[in-house]
Amino acid sequence: MGKILFVGVAGSSDPKPHPRAATKAERFGAKLAEYRDEVKLLTGGDGGLMKIVSKAFVERGGETIGIIPLEDERRPLNHPRYNPYNTMTIKTGVTFQARSIILVRSSDSFVILGGGAGTIIEAFLAYLYRIPSIVIEETGYPTDKLKEFAMEGYLDHRKLIKAYFTEDPGEAAEKAYTLAKSRTA
Amino acid sequence: MGKILFVGVAGSSDPKPHPRAATKAERFGAKLAEYRDEVKLLTGGDGGLMKIVSKAFVERGGETIGIIPLEDERRPLNHPRYNPYNTMTIKTGVTFQARSIILVRSSDSFVILGGGAGTIIEAFLAYLYRIPSIVIEETGYPTDKLKEFAMEGYLDHRKLIKAYFTEDPGEAAEKAYTLAKSRTA
Amino acid sequence: MGKILFVGVAGSSDPKPHPRAATKAERFGAKLAEYRDEVKLLTGGDGGLMKIVSKAFVERGGETIGIIPLEDERRPLNHPRYNPYNTMTIKTGVTFQARSIILVRSSDSFVILGGGAGTIIEAFLAYLYRIPSIVIEETGYPTDKLKEFAMEGYLDHRKLIKAYFTEDPGEAAEKAYTLAKSRTA
Amino acid sequence: MGKILFVGVAGSSDPKPHPRAATKAERFGAKLAEYRDEVKLLTGGDGGLMKIVSKAFVERGGETIGIIPLEDERRPLNHPRYNPYNTMTIKTGVTFQARSIILVRSSDSFVILGGGAGTIIEAFLAYLYRIPSIVIEETGYPTDKLKEFAMEGYLDHRKLIKAYFTEDPGEAAEKAYTLAKSRTA
């Protein structure tokens, strides 16, 4: 058996995400599930897009690991952001943002599903840690502006690692698999 | 499929651990592997007793998650404390001790295999987080003194949760499984 | 004696920062030092712009607190990024980015002196934690793009707290003092 | 002006601490205040013994830094564990125990005022980080057992650094100052 690959995702925890982003997250999870024997899906374990992508992945036989912050540990089952699709959970005991650091560092490749400030921070973390990343575009979220912010795919002037941009969630899933695979070869 | 149970362990990372502790760690891992379909083994991902217990568990078909600190992320393959039996690794980006917090919090039950200050801290963390824990005795390490330190199994005056003490690693494995199972029921 | 105010700053640790940013950081520190009896300057304790602003503040009688990451703890005195202007240091034992979380959360107001991905993350952290913040513009760094990225000063669609933008470091210092003062009143 | 010394303390946050421990904490803070021009007192910023020692230090002109966990950030002023004697506060955004790591690492010397599991963990952290430490004895708390647990002052078999034990809080204060001073010389 080969090494297990960790594909991480970042996305809005808004319980009612933008329909376009929701559709793309669902399609991404479904496509990535084709690689479920080699890949675990890592998320922040929260609701919104994280729940949608986890559901799509788990329902097709995949396993997820939710890396959850202190604030989410005691979330009741009927909370609008409760995510029942975390196959496993890691309880970090830290804020949402410190949790993001662990999520990103642990990933072999990282995908931005769409979101606001917290998701944008995760995109910059992936850049700083030189984790290969893919940004899904046209989601209706502020992360749509990342391409314009970047210079030729680089998120700052040091050109540490290039991010990939695509509107197509299926392509994002294949790219995430390929990048994780080649990184751990 | 039922919920995956996380059994965490703490133990010395000394590359040449006490023979008695090494034997007990090996027997613990072998016995726990009988529950491999329900249980993942969580460790600090390091060498020494953590490597021994992981090897015993993985060679019998189990899967492990190593929760590793910043200092261990760039460990070369030939390092005496390198642990090739981490099926998966979570990269925390923090010190050994802050890593221990994540390891303990994420565990459904926690087993002390024997060790020094770092392992003792993990025993107290399990107590504070009310994680059911088992201390394996007669290992040759300072954790052997924990029973005497405790009052009727409680690690301080608040009597938050009782620790179990046993010299028998097989019994420790069964107890770890049972406690994790009943906690997540 | 009134409460001590914490004005935090983020800036590139590049040992040879852009001259424009360097001049602005120096002027900011000098101006803020007028409030040295009420204000402590919080930085990441590193070199580059952090060193320049700390020097300007300390040489005028102010006191600084450097919140330093694990990687900086053992920095030798002749390291190009060593910062001798940390009056006090807090040793966090975590990555640069987890350190940033502590720096930003502890600040009563926060100023972006100019920088790349790490500094941008700190701007978004201040936004998420609703810490009043000021972005100094025209520095030659990627943070110059933050104004364009923001919508009417808000760094994402939730409009949690507005950031102030100014090209004038003296104005930034006065604003930082006023915002910190009113927040802790 | 010489370097500012950080003397850290650990102690029970119990709002009604053991009278013996309370008296010793008060006397320790009063004695340490004789060095207030050189020393800042670092605590976990909480109530109980931390509040008592901070009060004694601040009322004699000293300044304290409270390193507070996520759970304490939003503590109301009338909370039984609210501590108004934090001259400055660092907001860590982490659990009590991860906060302890930052507190201990930042200290030039460290004093155990008496407490349970959390305080014991801090004693072991100081040992692991080789921070010179002093344990105040005869407090009525489980930390009274540390001397017996230790072997000739060493908290485990590796003999990393010796802890000092004394029943006299005044002597503890002088020792804490001397050890911090010699460490940073």
Contact D157 B145 (CB under 8 A): no
Contact at 8 Å (CB) between D155 and D146? Answer: yes
Q: Decide: A67 and A122 in contact? Cβ < 8 Å.
A: no
Which run of H or E residues covers position C171?
helix C169-183
Q: Do A95 and C101 touch (CB under 8 A)?
A: yes
Listed residue (C69, C85, C66) closest to C77, CA to CA: C85
Q: Which chains touch B (3 or more CB pairs under 8 A)?
A: A, C, D
pLDDT surpassing 70 at residue A9: yes
Instruction: Give the C-alpha distances (Å, rounded to integers) separating D84 from B113, B177, D73.
Output: 43, 46, 13
Is A93 in contact with D94 (Cβ distance < 8 A)? Answer: yes
Rounded Cα distance, C164 and C9, in Å: 14
User: Minimal Cα–Cα distance from A82 to chain D, Å?
Assistant: 21
Number of CB atoms found within 10 A of residue A154's CB: 17
Q: Which pTM was predicted?
A: 0.96
Determine the distance from the C-alpha atom of residue B75 to the mean position of all C-alpha atoms in its chain, rounded to a whole number: 21
Q: Which residues in chain A are closer than 8 Å to B88, comparing Cβ atoms?
A: 4, 6, 40, 65
The CA distance from C127 to A172, in Å, is: 29
Q: What is the largest CA-CA distance in chain B?
A: 45
pLDDT of residue B77: 77
For chain D, the residues whose C-beta falls within 8 A of a C-beta of chain A are 70, 93-95, 97-98
D133: pLDDT strictly greater than 90: yes
Residues of chain C with pLDDT under 70: 1-2
CB contact under 8 A, C93 and B93: no
Contact between residue D91 and residue C105 where contact means Cβ atoms under 8 Å apart: yes
Sign, CA torsion B79/B84/B86/B90: positive
Whether the predicted pLDDT of D73 surpasses 90 = no
**Chain C residues with beta carbon closer than 8 angstroms to that of D89:** 106
**Secondary structure of residue C41 in the 3-state scheme:** strand
Q: Does the structure show a pLDDT above 60 at B126? A: yes
State the pLDDT at residue B73.
86
Which chain D residues have a beta carbon less than 8 Å from that of A73? Answer: none
Q: What is the dihedral of CA A170, A110, A3, B102, to 10 degrees?
A: -140
* CB atoms A98 and D94 under 8 Å: yes
pLDDT band at A81; cut points 50, 70, 90: confident
Is the pLDDT reported for residue A183 higher than 90?
A: no
State residue C78's pLDDT score.
Answer: 81
**Cα separation, B93 vs B95, whole angstroms:** 7
Predicted confidence at residue C80, as pLDDT, reads: 83
Rounded Cα distance between A40 and A63, Å, is 6
Higher pLDDT, B97 or C82: B97
In this model, does residue D78 exceed pLDDT 90? no
Between A and B, how many residue pairs show a Cβ–Cβ distance under 8 A?
41
- Chains touching D (at least 3 CB pairs under 8 A) are A, B, C
Cβ atoms of A93 and A67 closer than 8 Å: no
Interval A155-164: pLDDT, tens: 999 999 999 9
Q: What is the Cα–Cα distance from B17 to B3, expressed in whole angstroms? A: 34
In this predicted structure, the answer to whether residue B97 has a pLDDT above a threshold of 80 is yes
CB under 8 Å, gap of 24 or more: what pairs does B22-25 form? B22/B49, B22/B52, B24/B113, B24/B114, B24/B136, B24/B139, B24/B169, B25/B49, B25/B52, B25/B53, B25/B56, B25/B113, B25/B114, B25/B169
The reply to whether residue B95 touches residue D101, judged by beta carbons under 8 angstroms, is yes
Q: Is the pLDDT of residue B185 over 80?
A: no
Residues in chain D within 8 Å Cβ distance of B97 = 101, 125, 128
Q: Are D177 and D7 in contact (CB under 8 A)?
A: yes
- Looking at residue B80, its pLDDT comes to 83
| Of A73-82, A125-134, C146-155, D144-153, the least confident | A73-82
What letter would DSSP give residue B3? Answer: P
**Nearest CB to D90 within list C73, C90, C93:** C90
| Chain D residues close to B116, C-beta within 8 Å | 156-158
**Percent of chain B with pLDDT strictly greater than 90:** 90
Amino acid D3: pLDDT: 85
Classify C176 as helix, strand or coil.
helix
* Average pLDDT in chain A: 95
Measure the CA angle with vertex C184, ends D82 and C156; round to 5°. Answer: 110
Residue A89: its H or E element: strand A88-91
Task: Enter the ipTM.
Answer: 0.96
Where does the pLDDT of residue A75 fall: very low under 50, low under 70, confident under 90, or very high at 90 and above?
confident
* Helices B49-58, B19-32: crossing angle, 10 deg rounding: 30
pLDDT exceeds 60 at position B62: yes
The reply to whether residue A93 touches residue D97, judged by beta carbons under 8 angstroms, is: yes
- Summarize pLDDT for B9-35 with one digit per residue, the tens: 999 999 999 999 999 999 999 999 999
Query: Chain D closest CA to C143's CA: distance in Å?
Result: 25
d(C-alpha D165, C-alpha D134), whole Å: 6
pLDDT number for residue D109: 98
Residue C113 near residue C139 (C-beta atoms within 8 A): yes
Structure tokens at C143: 């943070």
Q: Which residue of C has its CA nearest to A18?
A: C157
Measured distance CA(C41)–CA(C28) in Å, rounded: 11
Q: What is the pLDDT, as a whole number, of residue A114?
A: 98
Least Cα separation, residue D140 to chain C (angstroms): 31
